């Protein structure tokens, strides 16, 4: 990959798992944030191989200690394509599920069909900017035509895509949205809901595991 910095990689779970799940971070936190740790460790505990990487701007932040805004979309998509290319050399694209937190998952959704991966996993998907649900149709136009099997785990009160704000959004039949009750953009519920963040995360992990199992069952049919 052409880059001015080596992109760090983290791996969890058995390398001989039938599927490898590649997860990218969101716009503001790195690949080893508490949220990313929960999902990487949780999915690997179910027996999946999980790969995490950082986009160039975040890798520079780690190396230099200087915060910078996210790379522009072409660079983010180029990075996704390079990572998938590298990982597919082991078992091919049909052994890969790509996705991640917020921006990382959205960028994955823009290349999933093109790359021919087995699935797409979004964890807190940014359907629109905060407070601008009217922008969802333009930002997510590609989701109406998506053919890659997709699971999006979304909090019902996510400020970037609540149940109400995306109710009328045209989504492909390949997309399943799994709602986490009272969850915010990190799936965290309010105390008054009677739920805990750990419970919502466990719920999302269990649903993700079922999704991956279904992909594995249907992958070679």
Q: pLDDT tens, 177-212?
A: 999 999 999 999 999 999 999 999 999 999 999 999
Q: Are strands 150-155 and 96-101 parallel, antiparallel or unpaired?
A: unpaired
CA angle 178, 181, 187 (to 5 degrees): 75
Give how far Cα 215 sits from Cα of 74, 148, 174, 177, Å.
29, 10, 12, 16
Mean pLDDT of the chain: 94
Spell out the residues 6+ positions from residue 190 whose beta carbon is closer than 8 angstroms to its own: 182
Q: Hey, which residues does 180 pair with through a beta bridge?
A: 155
Q: Would you give the DSSP letter of residue 5?
A: S
pLDDT greater than 80 at residue 214: yes
Q: What is the mean pLDDT of residues 10-38?
A: 97
The pLDDT value given to residue 178: 98
For residues 66 and 58, give the distance between their C-alpha atoms in angstroms, rounded to a whole number: 9
Residue 131 confidence class, pLDDT cut points 50, 70, 90 = confident
Asked if 184 and 156 touch (Cβ cutoff 8 Å), the reply is no
Hey, how many other C-beta atoms are within 10 angstroms of the C-beta on 61?
Answer: 16
The pLDDT value given to residue 220: 66
The pLDDT value given to residue 2: 42
With pLDDT > 90 as the criterion, what percentage of the chain qualifies? 84
Q: What is the mean pLDDT of residues 139-164?
A: 96
The pLDDT value given to residue 218: 87
pLDDT tens-digit readout, 86-110: 999 988 888 999 999 999 999 999 9
The pLDDT value given to residue 59: 94
SS3 call for 85: helix
SS3 call for 210: helix
Domain 9-218, classified CATH 3.40.50.1820, yes or no: yes
Domain boundaries, the chain: 9-218
pLDDT greater than 70 at residue 3: no
The pLDDT value given to residue 221: 65
pLDDT tens-digit readout, 45-69: 999 999 999 999 999 999 999 888 9
The pLDDT value given to residue 91: 81
């Amino acid at each position: 990959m052409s880059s001015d910095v080596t992109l760090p990689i983290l791996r969890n779970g058995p390398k001989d798992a039938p599927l490898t799940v590649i997860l990218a971070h969101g716009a503001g936190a790195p690949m080893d944030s508490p949220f990313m740790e929960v999902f990487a460790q949780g999915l690997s505990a179910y027996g999946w191989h999980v790969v995490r990487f950082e986009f160039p701007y975040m890798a520079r932040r780690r190396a230099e200690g200087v915060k910078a805004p996210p790379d522009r979309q072409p660079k983010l998509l180029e990075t996704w394509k390079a990572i998938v290319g590298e990982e597919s050399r082991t078992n091919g694209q049909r052994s890969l599920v790509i996705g991640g937190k917020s921006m990382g998952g959205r960028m994955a959704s823009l290349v999933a069909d093109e790359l021919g991966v087995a699935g797409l996993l979004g964890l807190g998907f940014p359907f629109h900017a905060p407070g601008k649900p009217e922008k969802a149709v333009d930002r997510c136009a590609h989701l109406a035509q998506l053919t890659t099997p997709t699971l999006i785990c979304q909090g019902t009160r996510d400020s970037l895509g609540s149940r109400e704000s995306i109710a009328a959004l045209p989504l492909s039949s390949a997309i399943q949205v799994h709602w986490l009750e009272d969850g915010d953009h990190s799936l965290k519920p309010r105390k008054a809901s009677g739920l805990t963040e750990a419970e919502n995360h466990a719920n999302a992990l269990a649903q993700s595991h079922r999704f991956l199992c279904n992909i594995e069952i249907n992958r070679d049919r």
